[in-house]
Amino acid sequence: MHFTGDVVVGVDGSESSAQAAAWALTELVRGRVDAGAALVLTAVVRDGAQDGEAVKREKLAALRERLEALSDDVEIREQVLHGDPAEQLAAAGEDAALLVIGPHGSKNPAAGRIGTTSRGLPGHALCPAAIQRGEGDEFASTDSHPTSGRGVVVGLDTSDYAGVAALDAASYAMDSGEELTVIVGVDALGDAEAIRAQTEFDLTWLRSEFPGLTVRADYRPGDPAQILAEAGAGADLLVIGKRGLGRFAGMSVQLGRTSAQVLDEAQGTVLLVPFRDDERLGRRRLVD
């Protein structure tokens, strides 16, 4: 998975957003984004908020200093916007390679479900959006993430959204030298033989697109969102498409039910991938 463009990080002064920024910096240092791409620290002043632009700029400057002490190989810029955080960050990321945010804002530091901005932003964003929720201190090193080596997980059905997510997850796993686990939901009323046949097609497809990829299937019964959240809890990264089998053009930038639930339940870093045209999808074989 290789991004083209700058990386925009939502910053609100919380340690959660600082960790997200450090995670994004590591992605830049590791070359997942084109050379010359910048890390854009972005704060949003809510309408009527008491902590105005001056306070936001002070917080951005403090975070920038921490990040520059971690690495001086990446250009770091700052910007302050005004309005609704989810809407403004989505607009800021319109031409970005990646949007990165933490799971909670400065007023919601407790563990558990994500905050309102983190929940609302991915559905509006047109670029991939990462909700950084990993373990450990991302400021420890830019050589790797604290969770590195735990593998990459992707949810896969027959939709094009899931196909694009699988391609990105496979690329990330290859770049990291990690194993890719494809999570396949098994419905008690579904056609088990067809599900396994499709999965074998998909594993063969991914191996052909990424020679040397280590990939395996994990068949799990139960609610898809819960399955994905549990599988991603011990992973370096959980990758999912914005929508699954229910995708249609009018909802192309909105989250599906499963994706929205995974955001709430996931305990690790989640990357939500929007649909894009990719010629490799045409080489994916589907069970008749």
Mean pLDDT per segment of 10 residues, for the chain of length 288 residues? 81 94 94 84 85 89 97 95 89 90 62 50 77 91 90 92 94 94 81 92 98 96 88 91 49 55 82 91 93
CA distances (Å), 279 to each of 131, 163, 164, 167, 282, in order?
Answer: 27, 11, 10, 11, 6
Helices (DSSP H) in 186-256: which residue ranges?
192-209, 224-232
Q: Which amino acid is at 41?
A: L
Residue from 131, 77, 124, 99 nearest 33 by CA: 99
DSSP codes joined into one string, 132-159: ---SS-TTS-SSS-TTTTS-EEEE--SS
| Paired residues of 218 in beta bridges | 183
Dihedral sign of CA atoms 253, 158, 181, 111 in order: positive
* The pair of three-digit structure tokens given for residue 42, joined into one six-digit string: 């972005």
Specify the residue for token string 């916007």: 81
* The pair of three-digit structure tokens given for residue 47, joined into one six-digit string: 């309408």
DSSP 114: P
Helices (DSSP H) in the chain: which residue ranges?
15-29, 53-70, 85-92, 116-124, 160-176, 192-209, 224-232, 257-265
Q: 257-286: b or e for each residue (b if 16 or more CB lie within 10 Å)? A: ebbbbbbebbbbbbbbbbbeeeebeeebee
Instruction: Give residue 28's pLDDT.
Output: 93
Give the three-class secondary structure for 72.
Answer: coil
Instruction: Give residue 121's pLDDT.
Output: 66
On the 0-12 / 13-18 / 19+ scale of CB atoms within 10 A, 116 is middle
Q: Pairing between strand 7-10 and 39-45?
A: parallel
Q: Say whether pTM exceeds 0.85.
A: yes
Instruction: Give residue 260's pLDDT.
Output: 72
Give me the domains of the chain, ranges plus CATH numbers: 7-131 (3.40.50.620), 152-283 (3.40.50.620)
pLDDT digits (tens, 9 = 90+) for 26-82: 999 988 777 789 999 999 998 877 668 999 999 999 999 999 999 999 999 999 999
Instruction: Give residue 66's pLDDT.
Output: 97
Instruction: Give residue 248's pLDDT.
Output: 30
Instruction: Give residue 178's pLDDT.
Output: 94
Instruction: Give residue 206's pLDDT.
Output: 98
Element (H, E) at 9: strand 7-10
Instruction: Give residue 32's pLDDT.
Output: 75
